[in-house]
Amino acid sequence: MPTVQTEPEPIAPFATELLEREPPAFGPLPLYSQSSQARHWSFSAAQLAEMRAATNSEAQLLVKKLAQEARPTDENAPVLSIDEEQAIIRFYLLRIGPIAKRLGLPPLVETSAISLMKRFYLRNSCMFFHPKQPKGEEAANAKGDAEESAIAALEFGMVQSLNFELTVHSAHRALYGFILDIQALDKKLTRDQITSFAASVQQFLHVARLTDAEFTHAPVHIALASCLCVTGSQPSGPELVRSWLDAKERIALPLRHEQRNERIAWREKKQVVVQEKRKAAEAQAKSKSKAKKQEPAPETEQPAPVVELTEADIEAAPLGIPRSELDGILDSLKDVIRGAADPAALEKGQVKPHVELDIAKKADLNLKDSQALIRAAADASNASTDNAKKRPNTSEDGGTDAKRARNSDDEL
């Protein structure tokens, strides 16, 4: 039977001595880079494709095996391709929003639920676990009166598959910080202009949830790329993003120079400490070997050359990445977000996510059939287990009756 797939947590290495630690190459790291989301839920496009292919292949093998056992004459097993799985997952991701609104939940809950569902289906196939388990529509209609067992039956396995990491860093928080910054940068912007701009960006952020952007990019990149999608209005998204990046570079430039000077001073201090430590060790060795024949001292290992940023490097990339490269990342991500929107709605000035309903409906039919096979196999396994528990124990030397008679004789 299918089980929830998890990823073991690697043991983080720790430096045993202070001298083994080096300062960060670019000064203090952003908080997001130290989060569990950045460390454990960030992948390249190739890694995502490999994970989904492995998950889909494993599910297909089991469904085909169950279909062969249940219907030996039928060669068409109800399996789903990777594209079909992604289509039906996107379809049910869009169901989370209406359910959250019906229950009166804040947008942050909706965003977190979408992210956690996407993480779950990276390592688990919807052929094993239908997106409607437990039935979200029934829970929404009941307004909290759904049976607790329906949720508790899957709760631990789902959380275990997420490595018990439930914190979600969404692009909405990054957008909120961006809005606060541009109000300080451009005092001419009115409240209505900022409100209208933020509402337009929120629509593209909603579309971005259906993409793999949160697995491949930081939340701030998603927020900035969504801002770039808002054009033809005042204020214009590209203009605000450009002015915001210019301001960040002006602030970062003196800090980067200061961090460079601190690293140089830190290495000089470390070199002094290492030399003092070596001299103390040599003096101690000489005092212990006065009565012995002095052996040649072992050659000390030469330290690795230190690569430090030059003044020109900092001037070219105050944010740690060249501006042209950053602009390329944001432009490519903008194309991904706009590509996930409905093109017909975009022509009308509306922003709606694009869902391939025909593929999703076809996949749902196969999904129901595969779920029926898995349930039938599970029921058969449970029935076999129950019969084994109810069956009386027999032995090779006469069975149950003989065993009872032997026990009676022993008591007498």
CB 37 within 8 A of CB 105: no
Whether pLDDT at 385 is above 80: no
3 state SS of 25: strand
pLDDT at position 314 = 86
pLDDT at position 13 = 46
Segment 22-31 mean pLDDT: 58
Q: Count other Cβ atoms within 10 Å, centred on residue 121.
A: 20
CA distance 28 to 229: 31
Identify the band that residue 292 occupies on the pLDDT scale cut at 50, 70 and 90.
low
pLDDT at position 2 = 60
141-149: long-range contacts, CB 8 A cutoff, minimum separation 24: 141/102, 143/102, 143/103, 144/103
CB 174 within 8 A of CB 219: yes
Residue 308: is it exposed, middle or buried by C-beta count within 10 angstroms (0-12/13-18/19+)? Answer: exposed
Class level of CATH domain 36-168+356-391: mainly alpha
Percent share of the chain, pLDDT over 90: 24
CA distance 53 to 57: 6
Q: Where are the domains of the chain?
A: 36-168+356-391
Between 394 and 368, residue with greater pLDDT: 368
pLDDT at position 352 = 86
pLDDT at position 391 = 60
- Assigned token pair, 258: 């200061």
CA distance 343 to 345: 5
Segment 160-182 mean pLDDT: 88
CB 79 within 8 A of CB 60: yes
CA distance 270 to 22: 10
| CA neighbor of 56 nearest in space, from 77, 82, 88 | 82
Identify the band that residue 163 occupies on the pLDDT scale cut at 50, 70 and 90.
confident
Write the Ramachandran bin of 27: left for phi over 0, alpha for psi from -120 to 50, otherwise beta.
left
pLDDT at position 46 = 92
Segment 269-291 mean pLDDT: 78
Between 37 and 355, residue with greater pLDDT: 37
Whether pLDDT at 379 is above 90: no
Whether pLDDT at 18 is above 70: no
Segment 168-181 mean pLDDT: 91
Whether pLDDT at 225 is above 90: yes
Between 291 and 63, residue with greater pLDDT: 63
- Assigned token pair, 52: 């989904």
Whether pLDDT at 19 is above 80: no
CA distance 199 to 219: 18
- pLDDT of 248-268, one tens digit each? 999 989 988 888 888 888 888
- pLDDT of 106-122, one tens digit each? 888 889 999 999 999 98
pLDDT at position 248 = 92
Between 323 and 362, residue with greater pLDDT: 323
pLDDT at position 283 = 82
- Assigned token pair, 6: 């998890």
Based on its alpha-carbon atoms, the radius of gyration of the chain, rounded to whole angstroms, reads 31
3 state SS of 5: coil
Between 138 and 131, residue with greater pLDDT: 131
Q: Which of 5-14, 127-136, 330-339 has the highest mean pLDDT?
A: 330-339
In this structure, of 70-74, 141-145, 343-347, the range with the lowest mean pLDDT score is: 141-145
Between 343 and 135, residue with greater pLDDT: 343
215-218: long-range contacts, CB 8 A cutoff, minimum separation 24: 215/41, 215/42, 215/43, 215/48, 215/118, 215/122, 216/42, 216/43, 216/44, 216/45, 216/48, 217/329, 217/333, 218/30, 218/32, 218/33, 218/38
